[in-house]
C-alpha cells in the first residue's frame, strides 16, 4: 500500500523525534543539570585549566631562578662559607688599596632551611679611584651578595675618604659549590673596562654641587645672517625602551630634537645624521661626509673631527 504525501510527512516527523530523543538520552541521560549549567561548568573548567597552566609557567620560571641562585650561592656549610667569603673580602680590599681596614663579622641570620645570611661590616680609607676599583670587582663576580649600605666621608686636609659599608652574602642548603666560592660569572657591567668608570668618577668632586661648564659663545660672521646651527648644542643622553637617544637643543627657536642612531636632522643651514651613540655619553654625527665626535654641552660646530683611516 502506497503512503500518501501527508502520511509520509508524519512518518518523517516521527523519525526525527525518535532521533532527537536518542541523542538526548545519549548525551544527557542521568544528568539533571540544565544546558546553561553545563555551559557554565565547561567555562569554569576551561578557566581552571588556563590558571593552572599559568601556575606551571610561573613555577618553571621560579625553578630556573632558584637554579641560578644555587650556582651563585656560597657553600651550604655556613662556617666554611663565612671563612671563604671573609678571606675574599680581605683580599679584594688589599688589591683595591684600601688602607687601615677592619672587617667585623655580624650575626648570622638563618631562615629555617631556606638560606643563611652572612654579614660583615668593612671600614677603611681610600681615595675615590680606589673605591671605584673595589666596587667594580665586587659587582663583576657572580656571588650571591650585595652591599646593603655604604657611608663615605671626606677626611680633613686629605684626598682620602673614610669608607664604611655593610656587606651581605647568602649560603643556600643546595648550593652547587661545596668547599669553595662559586665560579659562576657575574653579569656583564654596562661599561667594558674598569677605567671607563674610574676616570670620569675620579675627576668629579662628589661632595660639591655639579656645575655644568658654560659653552663658549659661537662666533657670528657679520657678513652672514645668524645660523641657528651656531646656537645648537648637545644637551643630554637618555635611553628609551633600551634604545640610546641624544638630545640636541636649538636655542634660537627653543626647539629640542631627540634622535637615535641613523636619524637625520637639519638645524638652520646644518644637516647631519646621527651615526652612533656611545654608552659613555658621546655621539658621532656625520656632517656632509665629515664625522665629528661630540659630548654633552658641545656646540654642533665643535667636537672632535674623526679622521677616516682609509682615506
What are the phi and psi torsion angles at 87 (to 5°)? -65, -35
pTM over 0.75: no
* DSSP assignment letter at 19: H
* DSSP assignment letter at 262: T
Is 54 contained in some domain? no
Closest CA to 168 of 145, 134, 137, 135: 145
Please report the pLDDT score of residue 218 as a whole number: 65
Contacts of 75 (CB under 8 A, 6+ apart): 81, 84, 171, 175, 177, 178, 179, 180, 181
Residue 192 in grid coordinates: 667594558
For the stretch 25-52, pLDDT in tens is: 555 555 566 777 778 888 888 887 888 8
Is 2 contained in some domain? no
Integer Cα distance of 253 and 262 in angstroms: 24
* DSSP assignment letter at 185: B
For the stretch 238-284, pLDDT in tens is: 877 778 888 888 887 778 888 888 898 888 778 889 888 887 778 88
The answer to whether the beta carbons of residues 78 and 175 sit under 8 Å apart is no
Same domain, 83 and 192: yes
Integer Cα distance of 95 and 76 in angstroms: 27
Beta bridge partners of 103: 122
SS3 assignment, position 41:
helix
Same domain, 82 and 179: yes
Domains: count for the chain = 2
Same domain, 187 and 237: no
For the stretch 91-149, pLDDT in tens is: 999 999 999 999 998 766 666 667 889 999 999 999 988 999 999 999 889 898 999 99
Which residue range forms the structural domain that includes residue 290? 228-306
For the stretch 293-306, pLDDT in tens is: 888 888 888 778 88
Computed over every residue of the chain, the mean pLDDT equals: 80
Closest CA to 176 of 95, 79, 273, 75: 75
Same domain, 147 and 87: yes
Same domain, 136 and 245: no
Amino acid at each position: 500500500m502506497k503512503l500518501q504525501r501527508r502520511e509520509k510527512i508524519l512518518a518523517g516527523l516521527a523519525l526525527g523525534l525518535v532521533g532527537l530523543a536518542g541523542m538526548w538520552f545519549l548525551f544527557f541521560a542521568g544528568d539533571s543539570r540544565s544546558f546553561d549549567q553545563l555551559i557554565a561548568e565547561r567555562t569554569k573548567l576551561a578557566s581552571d585549566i588556563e590558571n593552572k597552566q599559568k601556575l606551571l609557567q610561573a613555577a618553571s620560571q621560579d625553578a630556573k631562578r632558584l637554579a641560578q641562585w644555587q650556582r651563585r650561592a656560597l657553600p651550604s656549610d655556613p662556617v666554611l662559607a663565612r671563612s671563604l667569603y671573609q678571606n675574599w673580602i680581605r683580599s679584594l680590599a688589599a688589591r683595591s688599596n684600601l688602607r687601615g681596614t677592619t672587617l667585623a663579622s655580624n650575626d648570622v641570620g638563618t631562615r629555617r632551611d631556606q638560606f643563611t645570611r652572612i654579614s660583615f661590616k668593612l671600614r677603611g680609607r681610600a681615595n675615590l679611584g680606589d673605591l671605584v676599583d673595589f666596587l667594580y670587582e665586587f659587582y663583576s663576580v657572580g656571588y650571591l651578595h650585595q652591599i646593603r649600605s655604604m657611608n663615605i666621608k671626606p677626611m680633613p686636609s686629605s684626598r682620602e675618604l673614610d669608607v664604611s659599608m655593610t656587606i651581605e652574602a647568602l649560603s643556600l642548603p643546595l648550593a652547587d659549590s661545596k668547599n669553595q666560592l662559586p665560579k659562576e660569572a657575574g653579569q656583564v657591567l654596562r661599561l667594558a673596562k674598569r677605567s671607563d668608570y674610574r676616570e670620569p668618577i675620579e675627576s668629579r668632586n662628589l661632595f660639591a654641587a655639579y656645575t655644568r661648564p658654560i659653552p663658549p659663545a659661537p662666533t657670528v660672521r657679520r657678513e652672514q645672517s645668524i645660523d641657528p646651527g651656531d646656537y645648537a648644542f648637545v644637551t643630554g643622553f637618555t635611553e628609551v625602551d633600551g634604545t640610546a637617544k641624544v638630545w640636541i637643543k636649538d636655542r634660537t627657536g627653543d626647539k629640542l630634537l631627540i634622535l637615535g642612531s641613523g636619524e637625520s636632522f637639519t638645524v638652520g643651514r646644518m644637516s647631519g645624521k646621527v651615526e652612533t651613540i656611545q654608552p659613555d655619553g658621546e655621539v658621532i654625527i656625520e656632517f656632509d661626509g665629515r664625522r665629528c665626535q661630540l659630548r654633552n654641552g658641545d656646540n654642533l660646530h665643535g667636537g672632535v673631527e674623526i679622521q677616516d683611516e682609509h682615506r
